[in-house]
């Protein structure tokens, strides 16, 4: 190799290279959005593990027949008419 020509490195982007290494607004927005998605994913994972560990804690204690006033459970189809 002759010493007069520099070999371009694949790690250095060619073209308009600025001296400061700050991110553009689009990169900052994307970075914040990805961080928010990871936080949301973490919350969902924690919630799913809590439901798996104690599934009956999240179930309501009332049944479907509690809202029927004075009707027996077998007479529910008469209340629809």
Give the sign of the dihedral formed by CA 69, CA 73, CA 74, CA 76: positive
- Residue 55: pLDDT above 90? no
Residues 26/31/36/37 CA torsion (nearest 10 deg): 100
**Structure pTM?**
0.45
Q: pLDDT of 11-50, one tens digit each?
A: 555 555 554 568 899 999 999 999 999 999 999 999 999 9
Q: Which two tokens stand for residue 30?
A: 């994307």
Question: What percentage of residues in the chain have a pLDDT greater than 70?
Answer: 49
Q: Which two tokens stand for residue 4?
A: 């007069």
Going from N- to C-terminal start, the domains of the chain cover 25-59
Q: Which two tokens stand for residue 13?
A: 């982007």
Average pLDDT over residues 51-75: 68
Residue 54: Cβ-neighbour burial (10 angstroms; 0-12, 13-18, 19+)? exposed
């Amino acid at each position: 190799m002759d010493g007069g020509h520099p070999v371009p490195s694949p790690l250095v982007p060619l073209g308009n290279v600025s001296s400061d290494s700050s991110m553009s607004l689009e990169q900052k927005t994307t970075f914040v959005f990805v961080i928010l998605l990871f936080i949301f994913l973490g919350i969902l994972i924690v919630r799913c593990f809590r439901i798996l560990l104690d599934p009956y804690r999240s179930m309501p204690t009332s049944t479907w027949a509690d809202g029927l006033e004075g009707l027996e459970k077998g007479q529910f189809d008469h209340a629809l008419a």
